Structure 1
């Protein structure tokens, strides 16, 4: 109920402004879902405990709070559960004046992993996505209204339930015809008298043409398609590991739902991991690694 109350306060999410199915899915349903998810995530991040670190038992409450804040502010990294956290390497000998120097003794070093930095920005990213899904409808409403043709009012009157009454239907048809005739008469007058409102920026004269509304309609539809491609690319680049960003991440999602050779979860692929690692160095000058 809290989420619905929040959505009702957002001006562009409280009602569906388009009758077209694709436009409704993009600008109303998807935007509402994304805004609702952003509200839920923000509630947890800013009003709760977004991360809980596994710390030694001798840590005080202040150290635990500091560890949580530090690991939340810093990008953590992920290493698969089946992979070791450290590895043994043998450094190569350094050649000085033609002679090899160095004992070449193996040493233990900490392995690096895939950085996970999107959890902190997820609520803002979802709001950005909601705005992108809403943008094509804003393009259509704003630029279509520049033609002088009240497209929204035409659609509202045409789909009025009272049109089932013959007298109301006749009155609405008459009003629509008068409005459309006036708009087309104005455009025809400009064409016959060869009037060019914009002398220098001639591309602005397109809104005085008869095909302007149709042109904006196709631009809005292309914006829907471009938004889907952009969102897929952003999600792939922003969330998936580097080596799994091919084919817009479709292989990655296939492995999540159907498994790669049997079963693959976040423990192996690192997509939305629930346990990550954070390097933390206290004042004792001893590097410690906590699981967050």
Structure 2
């Protein structure tokens, strides 16, 4: 637990750390600094709660011990029923999605009720950790390609306290280097643009993956929660209870004394989903923000590469005191 407490603090320090020299832009840092840190902190919180808390608590029956039921339901997963999401809590159902479950019986020609399986919760902490690594990979790749070139050519010019003679000399060296190597840094620029494309591709794939991981509910999760707040409490369906239910059902079967299969129906609480539902709401909105900035950044880079006039315009705007013709 001590490690879980220390790592988030170090990540917050990493987020607020001010660097003298930057080799990327704000959008790039949204991926490897902010998103990486948020996912890592979420993974640590969920993993700590899973291994050091009680991620599942089931109401035991008379013939099956509670530890057996909880272990079985945690491993095999639980479920809720969509038909129980629209009914009145306390009158028709005990909790959202908790309803009488009818299995298929061939002799009675009964159809099996539709269920929503919930077996993802064991993997959420690991999935968030792997996602965090994916957001960091383009940054690692860019650092390997960049090799400290920007820091080398700046040569302490970014320092506030610097002798005038050294400053003038280093400025002349920098200008001479840029003039002599004009047009020779295309590979350097292309690699940076490639990393920006990797960032955009990664955020798209991550959103598709999370949507598949949560059974297709993540794509509209944030908007569903937003609409839920404005609906009539008597008729609204809580999307958080549908994706991350706090109360679920679990069916345990064993052989009876005569050899017949006996079925035991249990209610199980998932306290971990209280944290899951809040984290994934934040992640939903955050992913769309990162996607917007990533797409805009790629469009900006394409414009700068494909339209030479835009480069002159940007240089002139960045250096207002200089003569635009120069």
Shared fold per TM-score greater than 0.5: yes
Q: Residues 89 and 110 (structure 1 numbering): CA distance in 2 closer, same or farther, change over 3 Å?
A: closer
CA distance in 1 between partners of 2:264 and 2:111 (Å):
13
Tell me if 1:23 matches 2:21. Answer: no
Paired positions, count: 241
Map of 1:195 onto structure 2: none
Map of 1:54 onto structure 2: 59
SS in 1 for 2:48: helix
SS in 1 for 2:246: coil
Map of 2:238 onto structure 1: 265
Q: Residues 16 and 137 (structure 1 numbering): CA distance in 2 closer, same or farther, change over 3 Å?
A: farther
- Is the Cα contact below 8 Å between 1:236 and 1:249 reproduced in 2? yes
CA distance in 1 between partners of 2:49 and 2:155 (Å):
41
**Alignment RMSD, CA only?**
3.6
Map of 1:151 onto structure 2: 150
Map of 1:85 onto structure 2: 100
Deviation at 1:51, TM superposition (A): 0.8
Provide, for residues 49-90 of structure 1, a one-character-per-residue CA deviation record: whole Å limited to 9, x for no partner. 11111223x468xx2122212211112222143364334878
Tell me if 1:238 matches 2:213. Answer: yes
- Is the Cα contact below 8 Å between 2:4 and 2:48 reproduced in 1? no
CA distance in 1 between partners of 2:202 and 2:155 (Å):
27
CA distance in 2 between partners of 1:282 and 1:24 (Å):
54
Deviation at 1:240, TM superposition (A): 3.4
Please tell me whether Structure 1 or Structure 2 has the larger radius of gyration of its CA atoms: 1
TM-score normalised according to structure 2 size? 0.61
Please list every run of 5 or more consecutive structure 1 residues that lacks an aligned counterpart in the other structure. 92-104, 189-208
CA distance in 1 between partners of 2:215 and 2:156 (Å):
47
Deviates more, 1:253-262 or 1:12-21: 12-21
Deviation at 1:230, TM superposition (A): 0.6
Please list every run of 5 or more consecutive structure 2 residues that lacks an aligned counterpart in the other structure. 88-96, 269-326
Tell me if 1:291 matches 2:264. Answer: no
SS in 2 for 1:139: helix
Q: Residues 68 and 171 (structure 1 numbering): CA distance in 2 closer, same or farther, change over 3 Å?
A: farther
Deviates more, 1:108-117 or 1:215-224: 108-117
Q: Residues 239 and 13 (structure 1 numbering): CA distance in 2 closer, same or farther, change over 3 Å?
A: farther
TM-score normalised according to structure 1 size? 0.68
